[in-house]
Structure 1
Amino acid sequence: MTSTTTPPAQPGDGPGGQPTGRTDLPPLDVLLPVAEHLPPDAREERLAALYAYDPPTRGFHVVRANMVASVDGAAWGPDHRSGSINDDADWRVFRVLRALADVVLVGAGTARAEGYTALDRPRGLRHLHDATLELAIVTRTGRVPEALARDDRPPLVLTGPAGAAAARGDVPADRVLVVGQDAGGTADEPGPAVDLAAGLAALAERGLARVLTEGGPTLLGDLLAADLVDELCVTTTPSVVGQGPGRIVAGAAPSGTTALPPRGARLAHLLHSPEDRPGSPAGTTAARWLLPIG
C-alpha cells in the first residue's frame, strides 16, 4: 500500500459495485501448507515455543487472552458454554497456554458457568513451567462461586472495597486483593468496576506476571477497554451456531461511544488443523495476535 490515508471513493466501489482499477490496494498472499507440521506430541515443546511469552511492554506483566469462537462469531454453543464449540485442536493450544502461564484470570460469572475448580498444570506439561498454577477471579460483589470457596486451594479474588467483606467471608483474607476506590457501593449494589490495572500489578507483586485470561467476554471487553491486553489468541472452530450466543468480547462501550476505536493487531502465527482421521472436523484455526499499546 502506498497511501497512509483513506482513498476517496471511486465510481462503482461499494456494495454491489465493481472495482475501477485502483492501484493503491495492498497485495494478498495465498497461505498454502508449509513444511512446519506439528503432530500430537506428549511434551508439546514445539507448540510451546510458538506461544512463548514475550517480554513485558507495559508494567511488569504480560496479559494473554485465549478465546474460542465459531465461524459465525459465537462465543458459546447451545448450552451457554464454550466447551460445546471447541475441539481437539483447540484443546492442544488450551493446554499449552495454561502450561506456560503463572495465573489464569477469569470473571466470576465465567468461573461459575464453566465449573472452574482449583487449577493444576496440564498432565505431562509440567516441564514447561514447574510452578503452581494459580487461579484468580474478578468479582465486583466479592462473591466467590461456591465450588471454589470450598476448595482446599481457593482462588485469588480481585474485588473493590464494596466486595471486600463478602470475599473475605468466602476465602482466606490473604487471598483477597482489594483494588479500586471506595465509591460508597455495597455487596448488593457494588460501586465502579474493579481496577484491573491495579489488580494485574498486585498479581505481578506476587510473582504472577504471566497472565492468561480465559474470559468471559465481559472481562475481556473491560481489559481491552483499559488497554491491558498484550496478545489475543483466538481459535475458530468449523461450526456455525446461528442466532443467540454473544461474541468473545462483551460489555458496555466507553461513555459517549458505541465502540472502542479500532486498533491494529499483528499476526504472530496462524495454525491450521487439517482432517487427520475419517469423520473428524477439519478447518480449525488458531491465531496469535499481538496488540500494540494503544
Structure 2
Amino acid sequence: MTDVPALDVLLPRAPLTPVRLEPRDDEAELVDLLARARPEGRGDVMVRANMIATLDGAATGPDDVTGSINGPADLRVFRALRTVADVVLVGAGTVRQERYRGIDLPAALEETRRAHGRAEPPRLAVVTRRGDVPDELLGTDLPPLVVTVASSPRLGELRDRIGAESVLVAGDGDGDGPVDLGLALGLLGDLGLTDVLTEGGPALLAGLLQRGLVDELFLTWSPTIVGGPAPRVLAGAPWLAPPVDATLVHLLHADGVLLGRWRLHATA
C-alpha cells in the first residue's frame, strides 16, 4: 500500500500527542474508529452518509463524477465505511453516473468485516421511483435490492428479473410521488439491514435530510476548486427549517484532504 497516505487524527486528540492511522491492508484501526456505537435514541436503523466536496462546494468535477475530485485518503474512508455497513443505499442517477457494479471489498477488508460480526457482504440498494436500474447491475451475481414505488412502470419486470424479495415497494408513487424514504428504511430494517450507508447522490441525501433520517455525515473536503455549475452535496432541497445542527466527532487529514465526521441532530 505504498501509494496510500497515513491519516492524522486532528480531532479529538490529546495535547502534544499526535495520532496517525497508518495504512494497513485490513484497515482494522480505521474501521474501529469509524464503527463506534450509534447515537442513542435513534431507533433500530442507523443511517450514515458519505459525501465529498471541493473547496468551492462542488460535489463532482467537470466530468459529473466524483472520481475527478477524490483520491487515496478519501478512498480509505470510503472502503472502511462500506466494511461496517449492512447495505449501501444509492440513488439510481448516481448508480448510472458513477457506474456502480456491486459492492466489492478487498479480501483483507472482508476479514475485518467478519471480525465486526458481519458474515455477509454488504448489499447494494438502489432508490428509483421509475425502476430504472442498469441492466449490467441487474445481471451481476448478487443483484441489488431495488427500492421503488407501487406505480413504477418496471415493477413487474424487476420482480421477474431479480425476484420479488429483492424489490422493496416504499409508497404508491401516485401523481409522480417519490419513494417514501422512511418506509424504505423500515423495509431494510425488516431484512436485518440496520446499518445503512448512503453514498448519495445529492438528491437522495437531500430527501433523507429533509425527513430527519440521517444520523451521521462523513464529508471529505477535496483541496481543489473547480467552479462551474456542479451540484452541492445536497441537490433540490428547500431551506431546512430549522437547519440541522451537527456535532464534530472527529477530523482526519492527509495531504491537504480533510475528512470530517459529523453527528447530526434530526429536526423531523
How far residue 182 of structure 1 moved from its aligned partner, in angstroms, is: 5.2
Unaligned runs of 5+ in 2: 1-13, 115-119
Q: 1:127 to 1:80 in 2, by over 3 A?
A: same
The CA deviation string for residues 87-135 of structure 1, in whole angstroms up to 9 with x for no partner, is 1110111110111111100001100110101212333111222322100
1:41 aligns with 2:24: yes
Mapped to 2, the partners of 1:89 and 1:32 lie a distance apart of: 24
Matches within 5 A, 1:245-256: 245-253=230-238
Matches within 5 A, 1:37-186: 37-55=20-38, 57-130=41-114, 131-163=120-152, 164-181=155-172, 183=174, 185=175
Query: Which residue is equivalent to 2:252?
Result: 271
TM-score where L is the length of structure 2: 0.86
Mapped to 2, the partners of 1:199 and 1:287 lie a distance apart of: 27
Runs in 1 of length 4+ with deviation above 3 angstroms?
Answer: 31-34
The CA deviation string for residues 178-224 of structure 1, in whole angstroms up to 9 with x for no partner, is 011352x5xxxxx2110111111111111111110000000000000
Q: 1:59 to 1:245 in 2, by over 3 A?
A: same
Mapped to 2, the partners of 1:292 and 1:123 lie a distance apart of: 35
Query: Which residue is equivalent to 1:22?
Result: none
Unaligned runs of 5+ in 1: 1-30, 186-190, 274-281
Query: Which residue is equivalent to 1:192?
Result: 177
1:210 aligns with 2:195: yes
Q: Is the 8 A contact 1:142 1:165 kept in 2?
A: no
- Give the structure with higher Rg (CA): 1
More strand by share: 2
Q: Is the 8 A contact 2:89 2:199 kept in 1?
A: yes
Which residue identity lines up with residue 285 of structure 1 in the other structure? L
TM-score where L is the length of structure 1: 0.79
Q: Is the 8 A contact 1:69 1:75 kept in 2?
A: yes
Q: Is the 8 A contact 2:210 2:237 kept in 1?
A: no
Matches within 5 A, 1:214-233: 214-233=199-218
Q: Is the 8 A contact 1:142 1:166 kept in 2?
A: no
Mapped to 2, the partners of 1:218 and 1:166 lie a distance apart of: 25
Q: Is the 8 A contact 1:64 1:233 kept in 2?
A: yes
Q: 1:177 to 1:53 in 2, by over 3 A?
A: farther
Mapped to 2, the partners of 1:33 and 1:244 lie a distance apart of: 42
Q: 1:122 to 1:251 in 2, by over 3 A?
A: farther
Mapped to 1, the partners of 2:37 and 2:210 lie a distance apart of: 21
Name the SS for the 2:233 alignment partner.
coil
Q: 1:43 to 1:195 in 2, by over 3 A?
A: same
How far residue 293 of structure 1 moved from its aligned partner, in angstroms, is: 2.7
How far residue 32 of structure 1 moved from its aligned partner, in angstroms, is: 8.6
Q: 1:95 to 1:195 in 2, by over 3 A?
A: same
Q: Is the 8 A contact 1:156 1:176 kept in 2?
A: yes
Query: Which residue is equivalent to 1:291?
Result: 264
Mapped to 2, the partners of 1:197 and 1:128 lie a distance apart of: 30
